């Protein structure tokens, strides 16, 4: 017998398959990922998206011996949400603005970089920062979606398709396709998936006014194979798309013929979750919220508005509809079903069921039969959820609380639009049978925006965020408000339908989860810590380290030369740190460049010391403005600026804090930025289409007034950190 054959047999002796290269990654490789636990080939490691690594060199007995093997900074200080892919000793990871990096996974050497050079003015169309959740790999190609709606293919090789630019190795694209109408505020933040030679990608933008869909492209050529729209054509006319038949049969009737959806397209973007069952040959896709959120403004007919807030089951080769389940009929709160979907086979009673599991924003944990879409169970995974009392298992519909649709008066709902669980990936361990959910409490007062009018290209929620006029909350009141925001790691038993254990955090918006064969659960936090827990028992962390920046992405594990590694990305930005600003989160460090952190047993790399982020609280100019002008500026700020610059003009630091910026200094300077787009190339687009010069001056007055208020308060007391 030849030497190569003997080596192959030796490699397979423990049930493992021989090592593969990037060119070998295909459906069989991903389906058999458990036989190659040393690599991470797909977004959730497997098509089932369980985010469980069988590797167990690092375990409950020695996890306290791990340290940093290598770390590197990325070329942006914006949000980090990426899950890396690792194969053949190379790590592929993305950063904000859809930039792709390739590193030697053992040493951290940067092999190449690809920057799609997105026009930074597109940043205004990103609801929740200019993030990217990762790449896909297939037969030697890397695929990435960009914030401006392109799908791009790159050669995965260490050496091919590279040119030297300013002493940096830069990758050239193999092909790229525009997947959206770029005149509309579409974005792509999610990671592609590849199934049967087709690259699957959705999009975002529902807050702004777009019609959602998911598309499939040929992995070799980039030619579109099919498209499935997630909301009907407002004219109810067929699109010549995979969705035509089911719209005619089911979805068209769930929408009226009037309302803002006829202009906006209805929303329903597919911006994150996908999973695939190769045995059933079914693709599962999570669908998002409506445009506007407020159904009364979107579609006053009161219909369910399919397929908003639904899990769609489709055939991956054709896009043919199989079934759907709608978690929140007629959604009116931004309760998306785009959150992580996990497939597993679990024993319920005396029968093993093939299930799809999801903990969407609305606070209920759903277990569905993934072949038929039958609802098996739906239970609150956060006890304080108040928008609905339960889900009726006979109808599959939530039992809504009185007044929750805020038609007559405001309603304080738990959860708010950031959800009881957001994009942060959860994990399922087949060893414990538990699903580990990064849960949270972030309430929101919903009130109907009586004067709502659709504004193309800007936020269109139909919710009045500004509230009634009144004094600005004090620093202590804001600190008390921050204390109401909580986080929790929930170890959920999908059979018993309850939490087996929980870990409480003083902050929401904590990181994605990895479970391992070593009996561990890894999770990062908004507080900058990265921790490991006992997967069976929970309790105090078995290990933790200070990553210096929030750790929100999904960790992974891989193995090279007999050593197991744990990897995660860290950085400022993403939705809560941007939209919630410094009122919602503590400032834990300077918002410098994001980083990749890689750990192993015996790692000895130390991070450089850092100083807590500080500002010089000096207003740019004298306070001015009448009470009416200041209140008008407040309303304009909350409707246009808050989502990037923070409530009450208090930024987290990821984006400039306007209280202490020089731009509001003069009327002319401010108008040059806000109306003329002076800094559009840096991401601050012009708002001239929705703001008049008088509006801009009211905004300037409000921003400067807020600066003076907080400067006085900061001089009188220590601010919350």
Cite the active site residues. 334
Residue that is written with structure tokens 């929620």 in the block = 461
Three-state DSSP at 265 gives coil
Decide if 267 contacts 459 (C-beta within 8 A).
no
Decide if 478 contacts 452 (C-beta within 8 A).
no
Inter-CA distances, 352 with 274, 355, 378, 495, Å: 23, 9, 18, 11
Decide if 460 contacts 692 (C-beta within 8 A).
no
Q: Which of 537, 640, 550, 634 is nearest to 588 (CA)?
A: 550
Residues in a beta bridge with 378 = 366
Side-chain-facing half-sphere of 359: CA atoms under 13 Å: 33
Decide if 425 contacts 433 (C-beta within 8 A).
no
Inter-CA distances, 655 with 82, 594, 595, 614, Å: 20, 14, 18, 14
DSSP at 204: B
Inter-CA distances, 450 with 298, 301, 502, 633, 643, Å: 13, 17, 41, 18, 20
Two tokens at 283? 């693709």
Inter-CA distances, 345 with 61, 358, 516, 626, 651, Å: 29, 14, 18, 64, 45
Decide if 60 contacts 520 (C-beta within 8 A).
yes
693-716 helix and 475-483 helix, angle to the nearest 10 degrees: 90
Q: Using CA atoms, how far apart are residues 52 and 680, in angstroms rounded to an integer?
A: 42
Q: Using CA atoms, how far apart are residues 647 and 273, in angstroms rounded to an integer?
A: 29
> What is the H or E stretch that residue 568 is in?
strand 563-570
Which residues contact residue 642 at a Cβ distance below 8 angstroms, ignoring those fewer than 6 apart?
465, 579, 581
Widest distance between CA atoms in the chain: 91
Burial of 369 (0-12, 13-18, 19+ CB in 10 A): middle
> What is the H or E stretch that residue 176 is in?
strand 173-178
Ramachandran angles phi, psi of 517, nearest 5° = -70, -10
Two tokens at 139? 């037969």
Q: Using CA atoms, how far apart are residues 529 and 77, in angstroms rounded to an integer?
A: 18
667-674 helix and 693-716 helix, angle to the nearest 10 degrees: 110
Three-state DSSP at 607 gives coil
Q: Using CA atoms, how far apart are residues 506 and 503, in angstroms rounded to an integer?
A: 10
Q: Using CA atoms, how far apart are residues 124 and 121, in angstroms rounded to an integer?
A: 6
Inter-CA distances, 81 with 104, 133, 195, 358, Å: 20, 5, 23, 19
Which residues contact residue 457 at a Cβ distance below 8 angstroms, ignoring those fewer than 6 apart?
124, 125, 184, 185, 208, 209, 689
Two tokens at 309? 């807030």
Torsion, CA 624, CA 628, CA 634, CA 640, rounded to 10: -110
Two tokens at 514? 């990895």
Ramachandran angles phi, psi of 391, nearest 5° = -115, 125
For residue 179, how many other CB atoms are within 10 A of its CB? 25
Residues in a beta bridge with 615 = none
Q: Using CA atoms, how far apart are residues 721 and 719, in angstroms rounded to an integer?
A: 6
């Amino acid at each position: 017998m030849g030497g190569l054959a003997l080596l192959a047999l030796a490699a397979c002796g423990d049930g493992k398959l021989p090592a593969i290269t990037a060119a070998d990654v295909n459906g069989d490789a991903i389906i058999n990922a458990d036989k190659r636990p040393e690599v991470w080939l797909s977004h959730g490691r497997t098509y089932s998206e369980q985010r469980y690594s069988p590797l167990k060199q690092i375990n409950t007995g020695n996890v306290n011996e791990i340290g940093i093997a290598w770390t590197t900074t990325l070329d942006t200080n914006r949000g980090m949400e990426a899950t890396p892919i690792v194969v053949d000793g190379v790590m592929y990871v993305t950063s904000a603005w859809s930039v792709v990096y390739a590193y030697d996974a053992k040493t951290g050497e940067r092999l190449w970089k690809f920057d799609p050079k997105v026009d930074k003015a597109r940043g205004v169309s990103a609801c929740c920062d200019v993030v990217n959740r990762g790449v896909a790999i297939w037969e030697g190609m890397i695929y990435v979606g960009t914030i401006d709606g392109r799908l791009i293919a790159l050669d995965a090789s260490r050496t091919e398709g590279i040119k030297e630019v300013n002493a940096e190795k830069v990758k050239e694209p193999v092909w790229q396709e525009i997947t959206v109408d770029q005149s509309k505020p579409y974005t792509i933040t999610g990671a592609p998936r590849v199934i049967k030679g087709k690259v699957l990608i959705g999009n975002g933008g529902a807050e702004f006014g777009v019609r959602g869909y998911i598309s499939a492209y040929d992995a070799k050529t980039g030619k579109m194979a099919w498209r499935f729209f997630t909301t009907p054509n407002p004219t109810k006319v067929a699109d010549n798309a995979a969705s035509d038949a089911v719209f005619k049969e089911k979805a068209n009737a769930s929408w009226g013929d009037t309302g803002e959806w006829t202009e906006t397209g209805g929303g329903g973007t597919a911006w994150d979750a996908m999973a695939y069952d190769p045995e059933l040959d079914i693709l599962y896709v999570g669908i998002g919220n409506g445009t506007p959120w407020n159904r009364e403004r979107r579609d006053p007919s009161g219909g369910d508005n399919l397929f908003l807030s639904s899990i769609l089951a489709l055939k991956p080769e054709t896009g043919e509809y199989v079934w759907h389940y709608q978690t929140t009929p007629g959604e009116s709160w931004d309760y998306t079903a785009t959150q992580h979907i996990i497939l597993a086979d679990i024993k319920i009673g005396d029968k093993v069921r093939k299930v799809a599991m999801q903990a969407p924003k609305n606070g209920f944990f759903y277990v569905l039969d993934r072949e038929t879409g039958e609802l098996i169970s739906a239970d609150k995974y956060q006890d304080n959820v108040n928008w609905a009392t339960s889900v009726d298992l006979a109808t599959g519909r939530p039992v809504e609380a009185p007044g929750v649709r805020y038609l007559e008066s405001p309603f304080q709902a738990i959860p708010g639009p950031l959800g009881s669980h957001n994009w942060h990936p959860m994990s399922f361990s087949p060893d414990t049978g538990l699903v580990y959910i990064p849960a949270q409490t972030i309430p929101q007062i919903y009130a109907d925006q009586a004067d709502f009018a659709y504004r193309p290209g800007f936020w269109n929620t139909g919710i009045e965020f500004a509230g009634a006029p009144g004094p600005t909350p004090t620093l202590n009141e804001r600190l008390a408000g921050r204390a109401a925001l909580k986080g929790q790691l929930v170890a959920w038993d999908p059979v018993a339908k309850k939490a087996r254990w929980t870990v409480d955090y003083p902050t929401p918006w904590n990181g994605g989860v990895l479970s391992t064969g070593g009996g561990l659960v890894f999770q990062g936090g908004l507080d900058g810590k990265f921790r490991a827990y006992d997967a069976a028992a929970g309790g105090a962390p078995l290990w933790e380290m200070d990553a210096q920046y929030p750790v929100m992405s999904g960790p992974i594990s891989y193995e090279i030369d007999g050593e197991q590694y744990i990897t995660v990305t860290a950085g400022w930005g993403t939705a809560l740190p941007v939209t919630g600003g410094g009122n919602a989160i503590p400032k834990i460090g300077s918002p410098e460049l994001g980083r990749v952190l890689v750990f192993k047993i015996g790692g000895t790399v130390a991070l450089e010391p850092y100083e807590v982020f500080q500002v010089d609280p000096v207003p740019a100019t004298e306070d001015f403005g009448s009470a009416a002008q200041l209140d008008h500026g407040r309303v304009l700020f909350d409707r246009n600026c808050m989502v990037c610059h923070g409530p009450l003009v208090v930024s987290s630091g990821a984006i400039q804090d306007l209280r202490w910026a020089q731009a509001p200094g003069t009327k002319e300077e401010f108008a040059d930025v806000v109306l003329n787009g002076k800094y559009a190339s840096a991401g601050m687009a012009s708002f001239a289409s929705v703001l008049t010069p008088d509006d801009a001056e009211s905004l300037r007055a409000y921003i400067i007034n807020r600066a003076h208020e907080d400067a006085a308060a900061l001089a009188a007391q220590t601010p919350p950190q």
